[in-house]
Structure 1
Amino acid sequence: MWGRLWCLLLSVLTATAVPGPSPRRPSRELDATPRMTIPYEELSGTRHFKGPAQNYSTLLLEEASARLLVGARGALFSLNARDIGDGAHKEIHWEASPEMQSKCHQKGKNNQTECFNHVRLLQRLNATHLYACGTHAFQPLCAAIDAEAFTLPTSFEEGKEKCPYDPARGFTGLIIDGGLYTATRYEFRSIPDIRRSRHPHSLRTEEAPMHWLNDAEFVFSILVRESEASAVGDDDKVYYFFTERAAEEGSASFAQSRSSHRVARVARVCKGDLGGRKILQKKWTSFLKARLICHIPQYETLRGVCSLDADTSARTHFYAAFTLTTQWKTLEASAICRYDLTEVQAVFAGPYMEYQDGVRRWGRYEGGVPEPRPGSCITDSLRSQGYNSSQDLPSLVLDFVKLHPLMARPVVPTRGRPLLLKRSVRYTHLTGTPVTTPAGPTYDLLFLSTADGWIHKAVVLGSGMHIIEETQVFKKPQSVENLVISPKQHSLYVGAPSGVIQLPLSSCSRYRSCYDCILARDPCCGWDPSTHACMETTTATANRTALIQDIERGNRGCEGNRDTGPPPPPMKTRTVLRGDDVLLPCDQPSNLARASWRLNGSVGLSDGQGGYRVGVDGLLVTDTQPEHSGSYECFAEENGLRTLLTSYSLVGWPEPGPAKVPSASDPSVSSPGQLVLLRGRACRSRWPQCHRPLHGPCAGWS
């Protein structure tokens, strides 16, 4: 049933994809399987921090001082980024008073979750101070904190214009050159807004004659230094990513659900915007927004965004995680798309939309566009014409901006399609970093968190993604609330309800052979032929250029290397009575590997042929006969490479009388648990008592 529904969902994904280059492979192949699964019990190199607080949701990494600053519910912490669990942390208790909590509860708020001081903003204010804002039991407060002493000041600032009341409300905030740029729904019943405060020219989005934002939930914001090395004297810009209630026209199904349909957006403002002199006074004159499409516009919800190379605008690009939910509701998938800044800029330089009163909907604007171009930043060309700031812009231009905040063209992903579709997974956050390999190419390494607290590590390979591993970060499932990468510390920091976890960006020692190392396709790992070990490329003491990697294909470079695969264990002897069933275990090292079995070095064994059943845990020989005796070899086949994992010598005994199943003390059994013998066809009913119930090779066999 599930398989049929998923195929139907994939057909919807394909049929409703945005226009773009034809995919080179069907959507089904985008459903990547993580190569390795690392359960919680097998984690290594992790460090933990848990203080007297909950909801460690706000993280600020300061690489220069090697500090990880954390905002939680009722507290702030300053941790050693090298080892967050070393015990040498500083902490600030910043609770809402019992009186404030009581008032919050009297307003109908939840005194178990909402009526606390949830720290939502934590940014560097200047060389000496940090700036933090908290919900403070639905009466937000902000504070300038001495970074060195790490203590609260004696006085606080009103936070209702800077921080949301509701701790669950989408929020993003940046401090840029002393100015505070925030986006959220601030007060309890207020409309969403993008604001700049703590600045000589405080600005906000327009509310009349139309709202520029419609029930928006903000996900991410980033400053892009587009002024640096600009040939036209351009301005820096702040980009905002959010979802909101749709307003523009669309397909028939879109029109029918217009009241509740939500879409993903990207908006931008100019850092040098001063607002208008008379029109748009104290309002943005550079606000523009555009539709952000990943794959199936009717069913996608933006969950998380990260940016790479934001300091160099020519290379800036974004990765976004979407949840894809169909009308069946129970079928859920996630998609990852990449967007280049150049494409976003092109959309903002394109045609506008306008609200058409006659048909009461938005449509493409076909009239003339005034000069200077509405919504643009002040450049050298405009300064030469006497427009030195936004306050010099003509009224005609500002009137146009008020009525045309939406662009007609959507922003489509690079190459017109997602990098990844993943079924039965809801990604919630993502972060990434570029990794330059010893051979020269640079790859984007992404970390994605799931709703149940797993972390997927993936590398972007041209038109797709390879998921290197999935890691169970928590013993009990819980949501991930933030992800931050430190390339300098080679660490990933995970903020969660119960605390903060520090994970290494790579664990190359996990790969024991040359084949295993290159099959991982981890840009942080390379095989060192001189030490016969998989090394981290950033810390290898040997010549980095001698390390063997094959990120693109994942199967070349180990030819002629004597460390291609792990040394197989000695051949095991297995004895079985005639007519009995026997399992020859063979655990595959990778989720992408396929088991292949050979008898007597040449005969390939296939599932269902000659009494053989090939399962995820090994080879089951049913109703054993004398002709089943011989030498059995189990190989792992992955990406064109084959590695011998284990071998058995199977000896069949005649049945002299009433058969008995050999026990673990039988001399023919080398160690307990390595041999499973079941009488006749009993495997189908007794397997749960004989082997792991979730992975038994009898599961699903008839």
Structure 2
Amino acid sequence: MHGARSSAVQLLLLSCWCAAAAGYPFKTPQDLDVTPRVTVLSSGLQGCRRFHSSAVNYSSMLLEADSERLYVGARGAAFALNASDISASSALTIEWEASHEEKSRCLLKGKDNKTECFNHIRFLQRFNSTHLYMCGTNAFSPLCAYVDEERFVISSQPEEGKDKCPYSPTTGYTALIIDQQMYSASQYDFRSFPDIRRNSPSPTLKTEDAPTRWLNEADFVGSALVRESFGSDGGDDDKIYFFFTEKSQEQTTTYSHSRVARVARVCKGDRGGLLTLQKRWTSFLKTRLTCSLPEYDFHFNMLRSVFVTPGDTPQDTRFYGIFGLEWKNVKASAVCRFSLSEVQEAFQGPYMENQDSGSKWKEYTGKIPNPRPGTCITDALRARGINVSTSLPDDVLDFVRRHPLMSRQVQPSDGRPLLFRRTTDYTRMAVRVFEGLDGQMYHILYMGTDDGWLHKAVEVNGKLHIIEELQLFEDPQPVNSLLISEKQMSVYVGSPTAVVQLPLSSCRRYTSCYDCIFSRDPDCGWDGAECVDVMTHSNRSTLIQDIQHGSMGCKQAQNGVAQRSRSVRVGDDALLQCELSSNLATPVWTREGSEVQGYDLNSGFRRGTDGLLIIEARQDQSGTYTCHSLENNVRVAIVSYNVTVRLDLPPPPPVEPDRDSFATPPVATERAASERPTLPVVANVLPSSKLLSPRSTEVVYLSLITILGGLCVVLTVVLVYVGFCLRVGQRGKYSLRAAAAAYPTSKRPSKTRKQHRGSAHMELQTISSHCNGNGLCNGVAKMHNGGLEDGGLLQIVPGEAYTSPSREPPPPAPPLPPTPQTPSQECDFPSGLSATLPSVLRRMHGNSYVLLRQSDSENTSPLCHSFSEELNKILEKRKHTLLLPRPDESSV
């Protein structure tokens, strides 16, 4: 049996190892796996405003800064919201649902009538100074319409949208209106190939699909216009860049991925060819975007979102992209930054060719025609009489037709990602540029996740520092769209259920100078008294900020240290709490100025992320304990405890309860007292106040008795049921020794069951001591006299007990002492336990500890007594006393 059990354990370990290897087939780069500094739950969001209606799937947004309007497209409706406060009641609505006939035809196509057979607004942009242009899927029969901006109504009959909008609400799609011309990229028909099109006005252009298909199962995520003609010495043309992921075509030995990220471009002035490439792009070129960590064998091939930030010149334009892994069972994201100059160099490099349609593409080494294929019309071509693309020679156009792919790949700036997150899937991104107090320009990124979080980060020296992570929704849902408004100082987030508006920064969240500086938020600065928003502060020269290092500038500032006291009895455990607001901070404890060394059990201390545990306190452990926050190599004192370890504290004198304070009749009171289990008296240690009169104290006491009594009843029912299932020899009795014999750890069944009348022993198993990363722990703690030898989560293990044949009622409860007469005096248990006695489960360096939350007090009243003493009265002496023959319900 032992061999079989050992084999089972080995098989389980092997299975776990295989599952881990399958789920995460890579190592983690610790320098890039960034942790957000501050975590804010949805209940703690500041300045948050929300908009929601009967519509769902808020997927498209358009911000008009001049009119202070935020236009939102959803399923079956569009909205015009007040950009300064989207929750205001002044929202305008356009209802645009698919007709019943269109929904019926959608069902006949085999589509889902719960998600697809609706009119999802996929496109909403400005067309001219008076109208917007809007397109929707319309139950797999797309339509587009013009919207009167002032009245916010559809101003004309909807027109055909099959060449402008995709059929499905989930198909990758991007589109732009440039000078009243619409450029879009998608898979338009559910049976067609993906395409990049200019739809209106004439001439319409498309990508080529024969003999060489230019796009191979492309999934588009974004597009951008770069006006390269502005200030151009060569009379170059403006270009539209498209970003997507498609099936790989290259043949290489360095990687083997089925899908790769791409960037493609077309010239705005392209008119197609005269005979060759007629109504086709003559300037289409594409190349690969790489975002990888070769030293870790990471290759992020799936492009999810792109944001373009313009620079002072077109060459200073930057592309920020969110990339994911090709494995669907692994959550991971990377953020890479590219420059336009690097993209232009790639389009000037060698071409790829495919001589045989059945083989992979290879680098072209033959002769390149003149003028260079894929270039826009420039002053040099105009001097040769080539003023439009229809004048290009046929050999140039034929070369473009067969060589759309470039060989050179676009590498990220600095050769590596700015950020890597192993447990996060980013979905959308927005970027803004802000000048810090040091005069440098910083790029601030806002990134939405697939489970409804928003990360704010700043780029510093080629890496991203995540300032904060904000929980936008209690129910996880993806971020579908993201916009930034500098004028409104807001960020707008669209999701399946609502639109959320948040301020660009929440500086008042930081309550001290060090907290403000450690955040490294370009929007925040310390003015000597509080952390303020830099944009709204009139005199920026008086503010303190350190974005580069996040450590300098607060030496002269006063940092308040909380002062607390603890009175602990010898042999008791005490937790000194220290909650750190920063996820990047490390707690450091000192006693009388010297750092507390050694955190094992023998040292008498145990350090956790939220406090220091004094184990079985000794008198020589008295002193002043200070918790410091260590962050960015700066140590800051947070809280100081004056701990006094005493030999003993006098118990309070017994006092008869005030029976006038009871609302029940005397007979009922006596009956209730006889039925109550024996419990430690806690009523006299509640803080005195008007709310805690003798009457309300009795109500609290009776409530506690009722709750604990109910728990005891439930426990009794469970024990009786277990005893019945184990089929103990005597009906109606439960033998703990018999149950122990049937416990799974036994190697053999017990044939005899003995009942011991003289003693009983109950063993409690804890989940502590040694824990793995999943929180699975082992270890055993025995409860003697109510104490834990080794702290942990309690788990009842059958032991021995005696059941009396006569059912005698439990002993009556002791009399209830009244509330102390001094109303202003507050009491602390000697061990630092709060009078309200809430239980808290603390995790201390892999060990779980069952503790009670502590309250602060400067002095200890002689009328207040130790909770441990009252518990000892019931369970007698710790570690060396057996339980009573009939265990009291309250002690269990």
Q: TM-score, normalised by structure 2?
A: 0.71
1:130 and 2:132 matched: yes
Residue 70 of structure 2 aligns with an amino acid whose one-letter code is: L
Mark the CA change 1:662 to 1:214 in structure 2 (over 3 Å): closer, same or farther. Answer: farther
CA contact (8 A) 1:223 1:310 kept: no
* Residues 566-625 of structure 1, C-alpha deviations (whole Å, 9 max, x = no match): x1222x222233333221111002001100001122243443261211111111122222
In the aligned structure 2, how far is the partner of 1:654 from the partner of 1:252? 72
SS in 1 for 2:361: strand
* Residues 143-202 of structure 1, C-alpha deviations (whole Å, 9 max, x = no match): 011111110134111000000000110100100001100000001111000000112221
CA contact (8 A) 2:315 2:339 kept: no
Identity rate, percent = 48
In the aligned structure 2, how far is the partner of 1:576 from the partner of 1:317? 61
SS in 2 for 1:208: coil
CA contact (8 A) 1:623 1:680 kept: no
1:555 and 2:558 matched: no
Residue 613 of structure 1 aligns with an amino acid whose one-letter code is: R
1:539 to 529, 536, 539: 536
CA contact (8 A) 1:573 1:669 kept: no
Q: Give 2:179's aligned residue.
A: 177
In the aligned structure 2, how far is the partner of 1:610 from the partner of 1:649? 20
Q: Give 2:281's aligned residue.
A: 284
How big is the alpha-carbon RMSD for the aligned residues of Structure 1 and Structure 2? 2.8
CA contact (8 A) 1:574 1:669 kept: no
1:205-244 correspondence runs (5 A): 205-244=207-246
* Residues 35-62 of structure 1, C-alpha deviations (whole Å, 9 max, x = no match): 0000011011011111231111100111
In the aligned structure 2, how far is the partner of 1:74 from the partner of 1:11? 43
Q: Give 2:884's aligned residue.
A: none
SS in 2 for 1:104: helix
Q: Structure 2: state its 5+ residue gaps.
A: 1-12, 652-678, 690-785, 796-836, 850-892
Q: Give 2:868's aligned residue.
A: none
Q: Give 2:716's aligned residue.
A: none
Mark the CA change 1:680 to 1:692 in structure 2 (over 3 Å): closer, same or farther. Answer: closer
In the aligned structure 2, how far is the partner of 1:528 from the partner of 1:232? 50
Q: Give 1:251's aligned residue.
A: 253
In the aligned structure 1, how far is the partner of 2:162 from the partner of 2:119? 13
In the aligned structure 2, how far is the partner of 1:342 from the partner of 1:552? 26
Q: Give 2:712's aligned residue.
A: none
In the aligned structure 2, how far is the partner of 1:3 from the partner of 1:653? 51
Mark the CA change 1:6 to 1:30 in structure 2 (over 3 Å): closer, same or farther. Answer: farther
In the aligned structure 2, how far is the partner of 1:382 from the partner of 1:537? 50
Q: Give 1:477's aligned residue.
A: 476
SS in 2 for 1:332: coil
In the aligned structure 2, how far is the partner of 1:60 from the partner of 1:84? 13
1:587 to 555, 564, 579: 579
Q: Give 2:843's aligned residue.
A: 696
In the aligned structure 1, how far is the partner of 2:282 from the partner of 2:838? 71
CA contact (8 A) 2:791 2:847 kept: no
In the aligned structure 1, how far is the partner of 2:586 from the partner of 2:77? 50
- The alpha-carbon deviation at position 252 of structure 1 amounts to 7.5
Q: Give 2:874's aligned residue.
A: none
Q: Give 2:451's aligned residue.
A: 452
CA contact (8 A) 2:119 2:136 kept: yes
In the aligned structure 1, how far is the partner of 2:422 from the partner of 2:268? 40
* Residues 291-347 of structure 1, C-alpha deviations (whole Å, 9 max, x = no match): 111015755311111111168413210111111255xx6443211100011100100
1:303-702 correspondence runs (5 A): 303-309=304-310, 312-325=313-326, 330-357=329-356, 360-529=359-528, 532-541=529-538, 543-562=539-558, 565=559, 567-570=560-563, 572-608=564-600, 610-654=603-647, 666=685, 679-686=787-794, 693=841, 696-697=843-844, 699-700=846-847
CA contact (8 A) 1:573 1:668 kept: no
1:29 to 28, 31, 43: 31
Q: Structure 1: state its 5+ residue gaps.
A: 15-26, 671-677
CA contact (8 A) 2:145 2:156 kept: no
- The alpha-carbon deviation at position 668 of structure 1 amounts to 11
Q: Give 1:293's aligned residue.
A: 290
CA contact (8 A) 1:59 1:68 kept: yes
- The alpha-carbon deviation at position 646 of structure 1 amounts to 1.0
In the aligned structure 2, how far is the partner of 1:584 from the partner of 1:427? 38
CA contact (8 A) 1:622 1:680 kept: no
Residue 283 of structure 1 aligns with an amino acid whose one-letter code is: R
Mark the CA change 1:516 to 1:70 in structure 2 (over 3 Å): closer, same or farther. Answer: same
Runs of 4 or more off by more than 6 Å in structure 1? Answer: 1-11, 655-658, 660-665, 667-670
Q: Which has the higher contact order (CA 8 A, sep 6+)?
A: 1
CA contact (8 A) 2:492 2:499 kept: yes
1:24-173 correspondence runs (5 A): 27-173=29-175
SS in 1 for 2:508: helix
CA contact (8 A) 1:69 1:77 kept: yes
Q: TM-score, normalised by structure 1?
A: 0.90
Q: Give 2:863's aligned residue.
A: none
In the aligned structure 1, how far is the partner of 2:193 from the partner of 2:326? 26
Q: Give 1:23's aligned residue.
A: none
Q: Give 1:269's aligned residue.
A: 266
In the aligned structure 2, how far is the partner of 1:669 from the partner of 1:413? 66
* Residues 233-259 of structure 1, C-alpha deviations (whole Å, 9 max, x = no match): 1111101110001111123761xx6xx
SS in 1 for 2:325: strand
In the aligned structure 2, how far is the partner of 1:335 from the partner of 1:154? 44
In the aligned structure 2, how far is the partner of 1:210 from the partner of 1:189? 19
Q: Give 1:302's aligned residue.
A: 303
* Residues 536-559 of structure 1, C-alpha deviations (whole Å, 9 max, x = no match): 111112x11221111011111222
Mark the CA change 1:240 to 1:310 in structure 2 (over 3 Å): closer, same or farther. Answer: farther
Q: Which structure shows the bigger proportion of residues in strand conformation?
A: 1
In the aligned structure 2, how far is the partner of 1:680 from the partner of 1:655? 20
Which has the higher Rg, Structure 1 or Structure 2? Answer: 2
In the aligned structure 2, how far is the partner of 1:451 from the partner of 1:278? 47
In the aligned structure 2, how far is the partner of 1:130 from the partner of 1:142? 11
Residue 634 of structure 2 aligns with an amino acid whose one-letter code is: L
CA contact (8 A) 2:65 2:487 kept: yes
SS in 2 for 1:445: strand
SS in 2 for 1:99: helix
In the aligned structure 1, how far is the partner of 2:576 from the partner of 2:688? 12
- The alpha-carbon deviation at position 696 of structure 1 amounts to 3.2
- The alpha-carbon deviation at position 509 of structure 1 amounts to 0.8
Mark the CA change 1:573 to 1:447 in structure 2 (over 3 Å): closer, same or farther. Answer: same
SS in 2 for 1:477: coil
Aligned residues: 668
Of 377-386 and 624-633, more deviation after overlay is shown by: 624-633
In the aligned structure 2, how far is the partner of 1:323 from the partner of 1:665? 60
In the aligned structure 1, how far is the partner of 2:680 from the partner of 2:277? 87
In the aligned structure 1, how far is the partner of 2:636 from the partner of 2:267? 57
Q: Give 1:673's aligned residue.
A: none
CA contact (8 A) 1:580 1:679 kept: no
Residue 573 of structure 1 aligns with an amino acid whose one-letter code is: S
Residue 499 of structure 1 aligns with an amino acid whose one-letter code is: A
Of 108-117 and 611-620, more deviation after overlay is shown by: 611-620
Mark the CA change 1:526 to 1:432 in structure 2 (over 3 Å): closer, same or farther. Answer: same
